[in-house]
Structure formats: structure tokens, C-alpha cells
Structure 1
Amino acid sequence: MTLALQGTRHATRSWSRSLRQEHAMQQEPSETPQQDKQEEAASGSPQAAQHAFTDINLAPGDRLQIYALNHADRTRHICRMVGYLEGASLLVTTPTHKGARIDYRENDLVIVQAFSRNSAYAFKCSVERVCRLPFDYMHLSFPERVEGNVIRKATRVRMQVETRVSAEKAGDAVIATIENLSSTGALIRSNADLGAKGEAVKLAFRIELHDVTREIESRAIILNARREGDANHYGVEFRDLPPDERMILRSLVYQHIIEHPRSLV
């Protein structure tokens, strides 16, 4: 079979590589609001660069996220690439959730998302055939256009996260909102005065990653402060953040980019 699954002889190596991608993609499906309009990222987002499918450097066993535009909740599911024949078809495993096969049907229009090296990619295709033997897999139309965003080391994404902020030396904590976040810092909006440039504060906030709630606590330095409307805005840089918590934040940012490509700051 000429398809040869584009590198099946390298499958063992690609499966081990896919395990290293676990930090960037969910094991369970995630749900995002319909207002996200994610499909725009795969069909003309002005922020995304055009790429060839081969630029993604996918190999058999690599993990992808997929969801159907005609599914009411547009829940994202995890599948794995089986192989592809350039210009003809892309083969992926049929997603499952809690042991049950997800109902994808022929002619479903789907968005597929991938994370590779330092970029997040998305493309649109259709389900051409749903197969059951020798395992559950699907033939997708070969993507005509792939769009991607480069993820910089300190890439920031827009999100709304409640945080407690207090002066490093003394003072009661106040509730503020993180408006954008990276693995190295954040933009915080607060009605209260949190301090001046160069002063230190303590942050404590919760995030959800892979359906697990995690508490992040960090010392931070105010890099800039400005008044905008009826609120104060502070750009802060995390200091002394443990490596494991920094990795959690980086994973959160990667995952958010995959799910919300238009949230890049």
C-alpha cells in the first residue's frame, strides 16, 4: 500500500515523541463557548500564517484535537494521526470519550488542531469515510490550507482569571482580575491601588488544566502601572516561580492557544 502511512516505519519513534506532547494537549475533551468561533482560525484569521500540511511535521501516533462544526456543543476530542497520502486523505483514529466512540459521520465538517514544536496549527477538512476495521479510524479530506501561530517563549493569551493580590510586606489581599497571562508574567486589572513600578506583590490564583484545578502562588514585580477608565492596570513579572509551576503555566498557555487561537496578545 503506497500510502505507507507516511512513515509507519518510524511509528515507534513518533509514538514516544507524542508522549512528550502530553503537556500541550488534553487527554479528555474540553468544551469552549460557541462565541469563540474557532473555525475562523482555520479559514482566514488575519493573525495566522499560511503553511503547507507538511510544515506541521506530524508523524503516526501524534495527538490532534478535533471537533465537528455541526455538533451543537463543539466539544473538542483527542485523536491520533494514523497517516496520510498527500493530496488525497488524512487518516486519524476515531475519538472516544470514557470508552465510547464519538459519533462522527461522513460529510461532517471538522476543525483539526495540532501543536508541533513552537507553533499551534489549525485546519478545516471533512469526514470522507468512517471505518471500523481493523480498528476505529476515519478518512479526512486532505487539508487545502493550514494556518498556524508561532508560540514565543513568553507568549501571552487573553483570559479572565480571578486572583488575590497583596503587598509583599504587609496588607490585606484584594481581589483583582488577570486579563492576559504568560509563563513569565501577567496583566492585572484592579479597582484598588496595588503599588508602584518596582514594588513587589504576592499573587494567588487558580487555573484549570486537563480538568484539574491547580493553585498558583507567586511573588511578582510591578513593571508598569497605568490608569485606564475606572480601573488600574499592572504589568507584572513572576519572580521565584518554581519550575513545575512555570511548566504548568506554559502548558496552560499552549492549550489556550490551541483552543482559542484568536486570544494571542
Structure 2
Amino acid sequence: MRLFETINDVEKPSITSKDSNSPAHNELTATDDSIFSFKDLQLKVNDKLQIQLASVAKKSYNPTGIAYYSTRLIGYYQNYGLMVSEPRSAKINEYPLFESDELFIFYFNGQTLFKFASYVEKIITLPFKYLHLSFPKHISGKQIRKSKRIGVNIEVTVNNNPSPAIITDISTTGAKIETNQEIGSFNAAVDLAFEISLHGYSTKLQLKGNVQSFNISHENAQNPLCYGIKFTSLQHNQKLLLQNLIYQKLINELY
């Protein structure tokens, strides 16, 4: 047995899935839960994982209020255990982790959102802090189809104009903005400034984009002008933040 497995060692997924599909939001759809093997995850060292404390998740009736921890895979020993970096969260002091805690762990590989349960077997503090987790026995997953676009309600400033505008859905490539002021004609350049909340932390984003579509909504009297914006010159860290926002939303909506 080896501590790490490489991509070349990973078998192609053998998935047992149900036939029915259930929509998550607009262009984002997900299949019902399927059963996966650990190799199907194709986990690599430094891959990012999201953690929920099971005792908190089971009691919460509001998924968006559940504390999430962000961690990265250090390594694993097949059938024995996982090693992950020290989990980070704005609520780590409110919901600390202890040995024997049950955790729900999520991993998104770009196509499938995986979930499995694990237990904190040991918290190591030296030479650096990391966790030993039990090896997953059962892994479920939902395959995400089409564009990973999520519904949001985020206030945004467009071209430094103080007039109210709302981002109503967003992806890593663009967003839909509803407003009562004209933004620009087709392909017009726009500057966007808004804040997103990730794991309890607020992060400011300043993005550039072009107007790609326009229509008038007769159902929204307050902000009837609807613009489709395509992001341009997106920096790597900005794309990562958007991916994390989508990842967090997927967990809330699909589980």
C-alpha cells in the first residue's frame, strides 16, 4: 500500500445511478444520489475539501447557517485513513473540532459533488496542526450537468453608479444583473463591484465585463432592466473566489 495514489492509478468511475433528474437552479441540474468508490473521487494532494460538523448539520433547519470548514488533502492511506490540513472557518471558535467528532465532507471535481462521512481520529499539533480522519465507507455524489450557474441576491455597483442593482445569478463566466438604470448597449464595457460571503468571511470583488444581452422584465417593477454580463480579464484569484461561492451554494442546495 502507498500513502499517495496518482491519477494514473485511478480507475474510471463505475456509477450506479437513478434515472430521474431533479433541477437545482436554472441551467444547473443534478442527478439523484449515486454510489461511488474512493477511486472515483480522483483526489490529489492539496485538493480542497469542505467540512461540516455532523452534529450541527443534523440539527440545523437553515442550510445557509451551517458552519463550513475549509481544508486541503495532505494524503491518504488506502482503507485506513485521510490526513487533512488544519480546518479554517470564521466559526471555528464557535464550533471547534474534537477527536471522535463525526464530519460530513464534500468534494467537487468540476462534474460531481461528492459527500461522505468521516470521524476525527486524531488531532496532531506538531510539527504543524493537521487531522487524521477515518477512511470513508460510503460515498455518495450528485452529478452536475450543464452550466454551473447559481441563483444569488447580491447588491452590485455598476460603473460607480449609486443606483441600485442586483446580481440575481452568477457563474465563473458571467452574471445576470437587474436594475432600474441603463448599463450600456451590446458589448459595452462595465465595471462591477460587489461583496460575497464565503465561510463567514466577506470578500470584495471588482470585476470587468461586457454587456451580452438585455431584456425588460414585466414582473419586477423595481428593477425591470435585465442585463447579461460576460466577465472579461478575470484574474486567477477572482475565478477561485467565484468557484468557491458556487461550491458553497451547491452544497447548500443539493444536500
Unmatched tracts of structure 2, length 5 or more: 9-28, 58-65
Partner amino acid, structure 2, of 1:130: K
Secondary structure, aligned partner of 2:67: coil
Tell me which residue corresponds to 2:204.
Answer: 213
Deviations 1:150-169 (A, max 9, x none): 475x5311222212346xxx
Q: Specify which of 219, 225, 238 is matched with residue 230 of structure 2.
A: 238
Query: RMSD in angstroms over aligned alpha carbons?
Result: 4.0
- Bigger proportion of residues as helix: 1
Counterpart of 2:122 in structure 1 is 130
CA shift at 1:176, angstroms? Answer: 0.9
8 Å CA contact 2:33–2:142 kept in 1: the answer is: yes
1:146 aligns with 2:130: no
1:107-140, CA deviations, whole angstroms, 9 ceiling, x for partnerless residues? x221212233x23523131316225498743232
After TM superposition, the score normalised by the length of structure 1 is 0.62
Q: Is the CA contact 2:31–2:144 (under 8 Å) kept in the aligned structure 1? A: no
Give, in whole Å, the separation in 2 of the partners of 1:226 and 1:196: 17
Residue 99 of structure 2 is matched in structure 1 by 105
Q: 1:77 aligns with which of 67, 70, 76?
A: 70
Residue 48 of structure 1: how far off its partner (Å): 5.3
Residues 205 and 238 in structure 2, CA contact (< 8 A), matched pair in contact too: no
Matches within 5 A, 1:1-265: 2=1, 4-7=2-5, 47=31, 50-52=34-36, 53-71=38-56, 74-85=67-78, 88-93=79-84, 95-97=86-88, 103-106=97-100, 108-116=101-109, 118-127=110-119, 129-130=121-122, 132=124, 136-150=130-144, 155-165=148-158, 174-190=163-179, 192-194=180-182, 198=186, 200=188, 202-208=190-196, 212-231=203-222, 232=224, 234-238=226-230, 241-244=232-235, 247-261=236-250, 262=252
Identify the range of structure 1 (175-184 vs 59-68) with the bigger mean alpha-carbon deviation. 59-68
The SS at the match of 2:83 is strand
Q: Is the CA contact (8 Å cut-off) linking 2:99 and 2:122 kept in structure 1?
A: yes
**What TM-score do the two structures reach when normalised by structure 2?**
0.64
- CA apart distance, 1:199: 7.8
Residue identity opposite 1:145 in structure 2: I
Aligned residues: 214
Question: What's the secondary structure of 1:70's corresponding residue?
Answer: helix
Separation of aligned partners in 1, 2:237 and 2:124: 37
Give 2:148's aligned amino acid. Answer: T
Change in CA separation of 1:200 and 1:115 when aligned onto 2, cut-off 3 Å: same
- Aligned-pair CA distance for 1:235: 3.9
